[in-house]
Chain A
Amino acid sequence: MKKDTVTANSIVPIQYWQSKKGAHVYLVQRSEIPTVNIEILFRAGSSLDGKKQGLSHMTNIMLNQGTKSYDADAVADKFADVGAHFRVSSGKDSGCIGLKCLSEKKYFNLAFKLFLEILCSVNFPKQAFQRRQKQTISALQMQEQVPAYIAQDAFYNTLYKEHAYAHNIEGTKKSVMLLTQADAERFYKQYYVLNNATIIMVGDISRLDAENMIDKIAENLAQGEEAPVIASAVLSKKREQSHIEFPSEQTNVWMGHLGMSYHDPDYYAMRIGNDILGGSSITSRLFTQIRGEHGLVYGISSSFQFSDATGPFLIHFATKNSTVKKALSLTQSILANYISKGPTQKEFLRTKQKINNEFPLSLATNYDIINYLVQIGFYKLPLDYINTYQAKIAAVSLDEVKTALKKHIRPDEMIKIIVGPKRTNKQH
């Protein structure tokens, strides 16, 4: 059942196949540097927490805390012995484990053996679990003292309400304390399984070695079932606003509404449309006017977040408390003007050219390629996504951008979260 696809003659030749037992594998061979990266992504993010907020995160951060044969110290030592980096991470959609290692056999084999041991016999020791709980509480407290985090948390809460994207991936101080190791073990058994996995490999490795390794990974993971992809939230048209009082020098502002999906037909049009408004570019309207002309902020950006369910479109910035009104009204007028009139012909052409010219930069490193494979593999973008990207950008018309902007950015429907002092009696 090996279905092999190689995107031949492409900028980045991606080899895709399904291993025995059916794992989805994405390999890019790059032999210039003697290193190998393996990332396994599972659909095991916080959107699957249910009532147990923070469970996906707790499960994920237990994966380097011990196996049947080794405790946390031994796991750390063994990876360190060969200079390997073992990394766990999780988000709203995924839980991930990753290994970065020198490709020389004497290092790699040892690291990979331990990696497999973790996959099949991670054992959630009780003491480690309690410690990880406390560390998570500490991380949550850390977030409570930083206004940008407070604003982000409130933004997702307000935007998503009952939807599973509403809560912080780390949970709340209360919910984390209620979690048990049994919860984490159950979550692991259900979601960290082969049918729910996307395996990514990049680096200095032969196809044959890669296949052998994938087979071993497949042998060490339970077959299990694929987790369902979470449905999108229902659009609320209520324009909510809240001001959270906080004794900071700056006021943080987060505003936005539900955005769009990776698979939206307007994806490429909005890549251009948002770039001009406040995307990555330092020549965007928000940046050049609010920072450049008025000196009100250090950074301001607008972005679409892409995920399984529709992610947000959001604009955020921070400015000293005495200028928040001014910055906010400027933002709103730039936004209103841009959405109603769209980009100028000159901006449009320049931005298309810019996006296509900078595209090769995003593919320069192994690390960059892993990022693309995560999008392609986990979010099921077409295998020729990289190859067709520039042509798709080139094919977008100005009218398409104008229409898409009106459809996907709706100033009247934005929620707004403000974090900072309510009254500013003194100047700073």
Chain B
Amino acid sequence: MSAKKTIHEHFLNNGLKLIIKEDHRAPVAIMQVWYKVGSSYEANGITGISHALEHMMFRGSKEYGDTQYDEIITENGGQSNAFTSQDYTVYHQFMANDKLEICFKLEADRMHQLSLKEQDFKKEISVVMEERYMSIDDSPEHRAYERFAAMAHVSSPYRHSIIGWMDDLKQMTVADLRQWYQTWYTPNNAIVVVVGDVVPKQIQQWTKKYFGSIKPRFVPAVKPQNEVLPLGTRTVTVKVPAKLPWLVLGYNTPVLKTVAKDRKWEPYALSIMSGILGLNSSSRLQKNIVRKKQIASSAYTTYTPFDRLDNLLTLGLTPVDMRSVEECKTALLLEVKNLQTTLVSSEELDRVKIAWVAAKIFGKDSLFNQAYEIGMLECVGLSWSDTDRNTIKKIQSITPQQIKEVALKYLTPERLTIGILEPLEIKANVA
């Protein structure tokens, strides 16, 4: 789009990758350090360890002990946080551009000499458990989704939640975390992304100065862990105290990374199909199920081509009452059938395509978004520059026939998992 080069890529000798994107709208910058490790790297028994380690990254390292990290960032007027996903763990700082150097010092320090003290771990794992109670155990839908995912994925490590099973959290030790840290936190398994009002040369210098001396370590080869072929519809009913039922249908689907070389268009077709069903208020689920049939109060779909492993296309509804759960299921399956038998209209297709184009432009408002897109693609093993250049083109090229084809191929009963939240009466004394 622009002739002037505003994006710069570099490698240090130790394997650390640096990607800089200039954005001079405001005198600020965001720095993100991405590690290629997340919950999908975890074996049973240590689920949640990537996320627990993320918490411990704020508990001090050799140069900057205890709570110094937070204090220094705060004094400099920075905002800092981190998040863990299935495929990556990300640390980010948002700062005035003239204060950014300190972030390089801090991130380099904790990349290779994290303290990981026993007494800190005891407190922090307790914080993680509180987070789990809040985000999953006391939320009926999230609890139901956790069980649904554990059934929809058979051999894939996407089957456990990012935060991990409670029992695994209880059994986790600081020694486990030390090993995890030693295994994955090394410059050759990390990507630094900087977006903002910066001078690229300066960023390169700081990266070299602070990260350059960190020794790389051997990183284990990651197995493909392709999902086994699904052999039939699975249903899981979750009964918990709640007021409203909830329904989710999930189909095992490939992603850009896992699909065959000559079928790279399929994930884009799946993505558009998901949009036709549930992208916005104009999509089919809203029109047909929420507004016309009025058997659900809300609806959504999820699918992304950009995961590391085979994942799911999901359709979710909040039925208006327990009686309507069956009707909702029938209605969703009818929508699936329509996609398989009738070509989508060009108007519908164009709406999803323009939404992609618009989202790309709207997304430029946020430095975080821009950095996220880069880091995310790199971490799932896609070149962000190729993908970034091609996505809109690929999306634009998808035809109604291709959508029908992926609907027939992937939205099959064999690939289907049905999750139902069946509310139990909320009784005060059942805890």
Q: List residues of A whose CB falls within 8 A of some B CB.
A: 30, 32-35, 64, 72-73, 76-77, 79-85, 100, 102, 107, 128, 131, 134-135, 138-139, 141-142, 144-147, 245-250, 281-283, 288, 291-298, 318-321, 350, 353-361, 363-367, 420-424, 428
Contact = CB atoms under 8 A, between A and B. Distances in A.
A141 to B, nearest CB: 4
B408 to A, nearest CB: 26
Interface of B: 25-28, 67, 70-71, 74-80, 94-96, 99, 122-127, 129-131, 133-134, 137-140, 241-244, 279-282, 286-287, 290-291, 294, 297-298, 318, 320, 347, 350-351, 354-355, 357-359, 361-362, 364-367, 423, 426-431
A139 B320 CA distance: 10
Nearest to A423: B429
Nearest to B355: A83
Contact of A364 (B26, B70, B122, B282): B26
Contacts of A138: 244, 297-298, 318, 320
Contacts of B431: 247-249, 321, 420-421, 424
Given A142-B244, A245-B428, A320-B129, A73 B28 contact: no
Nearest to A425: B431
Given A76-B281, A250-B138, A33 B26 contact: no
Given A144-B243, A146-B139, A320-B129, A80 B351 contact: yes
A120 to B, nearest CB: 21
A360 B28 contact: yes
A361 B94 contact: yes
Contacts of B76: 354, 357
Contacts of B426: 144-145, 246-247
A82 B294 CA distance: 27
B355 A80 contact: yes
A80 B353 CA distance: 10
Given A131-B294, A281-B74, A365-B366, A34 B361 contact: yes
A134 B77 contact: no
Contacts of B123: 292-295
Given A81-B351, A141-B244, A282-B74, A247 B430 contact: yes
A279 B419 CA distance: 39
Nearest to B425: A247
B358 to A, nearest CB: 3
B421 to A, nearest CB: 10
Nearest to A81: B351
17 contacts: A32-B364, A76-B281, A147-B138, A247-B431, A250-B138, A281-B74, A283-B67, A283-B71, A291-B127, A294-B123, A296-B130, A297-B130, A354-B74, A365-B26, A365-B367, A421-B431, A423-B429
Contacts of B290: 131, 135
B93 to A, nearest CB: 11
A355 B74 CA distance: 9
A298 B130 contact: yes
Contact of B428 (A247, A291, A294, A353): A247
A358 B361 contact: no
A350 B78 CA distance: 13
Contacts of A423: 429
Contact of B361 (A35, A72, A79, A249): A35
A364 B294 CA distance: 41
A366 B365 contact: yes
Contacts of A79: 281-282
Contact of A145 (B28, B242, B298, B355): B242
B364 A33 contact: yes
A324 to B, nearest CB: 12
Nearest to B354: A83
Contact of B291 (A107, A131, A282, A356): A131
Contacts of A296: 126, 130
Contacts of B242: 145
B74 A367 contact: no
Contacts of A321: 431
B77 A356 contact: yes
A33 B362 CA distance: 8
B282 A35 contact: no
Contact of A361 (B79, B137, B297): B79
Given A145-B426, A361-B96, A249 B362 contact: no
A197 to B, nearest CB: 24
B366 A367 contact: yes
Given A247-B427, A354-B77, A360 B138 contact: no
Nearest to A358: B77
Given A292-B123, A357-B77, A366-B365, 4 more contacts: A76-B281, A77-B282, A80-B351, A298-B127
B425 to A, nearest CB: 10
Given A33-B361, A358-B78, A76 B354 contact: no
A355 B297 CA distance: 42
Nearest to B121: A295
Contacts of A81: 347, 350-351, 354
A77 B366 CA distance: 27
A294 B120 CA distance: 10
Contacts of B134: 250, 298, 318
A212 B77 CA distance: 40
Contacts of B354: 80-83, 107
B244 A32 contact: no
A220 to B, nearest CB: 22
